[in-house]
Structure 1
Amino acid sequence: MVLKHLEERFKHCVDEKNYTFIRYDIIQGLRNLYDVVDEEEIKEKALKLIELEQDL
């Protein structure tokens, strides 16, 4: 449930002020969570979200 919420937030925060910081925080939070629980699903979700980023 948390992963789904973070994914939706990542995808829909583009219209918000400082959305790049929001996206960075989401990815960093997923990294921190992965470091603690070591579930491959979290890593895969983060990598898919990173691929969505169009800003080079």
Structure 2
Amino acid sequence: MTDTPNGSATSSRADEVHQPLVEDALGKQMRALLIQLETACTAADDLAETIDDAFLPI
């Protein structure tokens, strides 16, 4: 943080770009969302297979 001539504090560009705690939190959220997406895709595939088995002759 640096002081400007008017006395307000500003953060440096490096601080704004690299925020490890925020990056870690976003990474964890992204992993959780990918797990949810994988689960939804698996459920959709299972449903499609069940429908095929129920309605299409063998």
> TM (normalized to structure 1)?
0.38
Higher helix share: 1
Higher strand share: 2
